[in-house]
Amino acid sequence: TLQESIDAIKDETANMKELVEQLLFLARGDNNTMVLNMECFDLSSLAEEVLRETQMIDSGHEYHSNFTSVFINADKNLIKQSLRILVDNAIKYTPAGKRINISVMVSDSYARLTVKDEGIGIAPESVPMVLDRFYRADESRARATGGTGLGLSIAKWITERHGGHIEILSREDIGTRITIVIPTALEE
Cα separation, 157 vs 82, whole angstroms: 9
Structural domain contains residue 96: yes
Residues 27 and 88 placed together within one structural domain of the fold: no
- Residue ranges for the chain with pLDDT beneath 50: 140-143, 188
Residues 10 and 77 placed together within one structural domain of the fold: no
Question: pTM of the prediction?
Answer: 0.81
* Structural domain count, the chain: 2
Residues 26 and 70 placed together within one structural domain of the fold: no
Residues 67 and 139 placed together within one structural domain of the fold: yes
Residues of the domain holding 1: 1-34
